[in-house]
A = this chain, B = another copy of it.
Amino acid sequence: MESEEKTTLGITVKKNEDFSEWYNEVVLKGGLADFADLKGFMVIKPHGYAIWEKIQQHFDAEIKKLGHKNAYFPAVIPEKFFEKEKEHVDGFSPEVFWITEAGKEKLNEKLALRPTSETIIYDSYSRWIRSWRDLPVLINCWNSVFRSETKMTKLFLRTREFLWQEGHTCHATNEEADKEVMAILNIYKKLMEELLAIPVITGKKTESEKFAGALYTTTLEALMPDGRAIQMGTSHNLGQHFSKAFGIKFSDKDRQEKYVWQTSWGISTRLIGAVVMAHGDDKGLVLPPSIAPVQAVIIPIVFEKSKKAVINKSEEVRDLLSTQFSVELDDREGYSAGFKFNEWELKGVPIRIEIGPKDVEKNQAVLVRRDTGEKEIVKLPEIGKKVKQTLEMVQKNLFEKSKKLLKENTHEASDLKQFKKLIENRGMIIANWCGDAKCEEQVKTDTGATIRCMPFEKIDKKGKCIACGKDGHLRAYFARAY
């Protein structure tokens, strides 16, 4: 019976054999998401949504500390707004869903389903902002956006609708906008490294990779175990591009009328996909404790005659641990302990606590780590302390492993030949670049690698442009990317 269940429910593909198929299975069987019966769209199931709630709670609290507030703007955008900022419309229009009818009537004007909300929000800002007293405006929205992707659907990574937050701020000066961009980027970095346990490289996007309509885009890039990079989040300084297009002006302290300086920034449910890829293993999901909806699961090992004592003890342990951790007691009838072990492993719960008749006798429990599989017998009076320590160790271990992966798969290339050889093994390649978009394009065409970012850290290594061989005064991270 048990082995049957294993075959049906467990992961059938190895992570290092078919990464893509492994990913699909982990997402589906781990109960994170499902395909909707509608090309390109996904359903975020309770386990996946609970991870998103953890991310939301953390980020929401961080931005509120800095004075940001949430608001809601319509999901549909009149065509006329959408077309006001030229770069922006060029960047997004190929992917826009259009609403053209209501009931049985044809609409007078087509409405775009928001691919991002700059335009509809900035129309409101142009009416709300009058004076320097109204600044800064620090607004964030939690919503979903729609982009008619044509490439193959990949749960969390490439779907036609996804959940995200989009922040939209207005400032009196460019310096303030710069500061805001970096403040948010730092919150993102902390979230990714400390909560998701995924190290990121931060830097600027090139002109060809920046957000459509931005002055510049900053980004956080991570490396996945298959050697491909993933953009984890972006924070843009929009300059005055949109404020000029939408007429967002304020009367400054010097009584001069000025256009505001703006930023926008976002992270999405794609982060959940990155967590799956970064930490999962051949048994399924492995969740960092900081975002695990269930941090420890208690599984009573039940035999008929000792059932009551084992359940009682399990409940006692649950009640004890619940004051500090999110704990679940799996006392479902009709499932074997082995089945439950597999299911909770699939779901990535960081700690399993087994309590059987012998454990009750000895006032102990067996504690099993999801990341390493290590088992340890713990005396019950110690269990609170032990769970806390173990969760910290799991969190740290996942981050260290990811840092190691990034370090071991980041290489320096000094010419195109070397670059091409290195990129065969994927990973991040750091190289010099002259700054010419043609060279960037050539590398992309030849190797499939794009410039992920130009890192903020100053790396004073002079060298020649990886593509043209002329003076390469810029440093850049290249990778094939999601």
- A residues contacting B by CB (< 8 A) are 34, 36-38, 41-46, 48-50, 52-53, 69-78, 81, 93-104, 110-111, 113, 120, 123-124, 127-128, 133, 139, 143-144, 146, 148, 161, 163, 332, 334-335
A76 & B41 in contact (Cβ 8 Å cutoff): yes
B99 & A113 in contact (Cβ 8 Å cutoff): yes
CB distance from A390 to the nearest CB of B (A): 26
Roughly how many angstroms separate A38 CA and B114 CA in the complex, as a whole number?
Answer: 14
Contact of A161 among B34, B76, B78, B101 (CB under 8 A): B76
Roughly how many angstroms separate A36 CA and B78 CA in the complex, as a whole number?
Answer: 10
A76 & B38 in contact (Cβ 8 Å cutoff): yes
Contact of A74 among B76, B123, B143, B161 (CB under 8 A): B161
Roughly how many angstroms separate A144 CA and B145 CA in the complex, as a whole number?
Answer: 12
Helix, strand, loop or mixed for chain A's interface?
mixed
CB distance from A117 to the nearest CB of B (A): 11
Q: CB-CB < 8 A to A50: which residues of B? A: 69-70
Contact of A139 among B42, B46, B133, B143 (CB under 8 A): B46
Copies in the complex: 2
CB distance from A306 to the nearest CB of B (A): 24
Residue of B nearest to A141 (CB): B49
Q: CB-CB < 8 A to A49: which residues of B? A: 69-72
Roughly how many angstroms separate A462 CA and B161 CA in the complex, as a whole number?
Answer: 56
A78 & B38 in contact (Cβ 8 Å cutoff): yes
Roughly how many angstroms separate A332 CA and B135 CA in the complex, as a whole number?
Answer: 12
B124 & A78 in contact (Cβ 8 Å cutoff): no
Residue of B nearest to A131 (CB): B334
Residues A75 and B146 in contact in the complex (CB < 8 Å), given A93-B103, A96-B103, A99-B97? yes
Q: Can you report 14 residue pairs joining A to B where beta carbons are below 8 Å apart? A: A34-B124, A36-B123, A38-B78, A38-B111, A41-B74, A43-B73, A49-B70, A75-B146, A76-B161, A94-B103, A94-B104, A98-B100, A98-B102, A133-B335
Q: CB-CB < 8 A to A53: which residues of B? A: 70
Q: CB-CB < 8 A to A332: which residues of B? A: 133
CB distance from A252 to the nearest CB of B (A): 13
Residue of B nearest to A46 (CB): B69
Roughly how many angstroms separate A143 CA and B128 CA in the complex, as a whole number?
Answer: 26
A101 & B98 in contact (Cβ 8 Å cutoff): yes
A75 & B144 in contact (Cβ 8 Å cutoff): yes
Roughly how many angstroms separate A99 CA and B36 CA in the complex, as a whole number?
Answer: 17
A72 & B97 in contact (Cβ 8 Å cutoff): no
A72 & B43 in contact (Cβ 8 Å cutoff): yes
A46 & B70 in contact (Cβ 8 Å cutoff): yes
Residue of B nearest to A72 (CB): B44
Q: CB-CB < 8 A to A110: which residues of B? A: 101
Roughly how many angstroms separate A98 CA and B49 CA in the complex, as a whole number?
Answer: 27
Roughly how many angstroms separate A75 CA and B334 CA in the complex, as a whole number?
Answer: 37
Q: CB-CB < 8 A to A123: which residues of B? A: 36-37
B100 & A95 in contact (Cβ 8 Å cutoff): no
Roughly how many angstroms separate A143 CA and B43 CA in the complex, as a whole number?
Answer: 13
CB distance from A425 to the nearest CB of B (A): 36
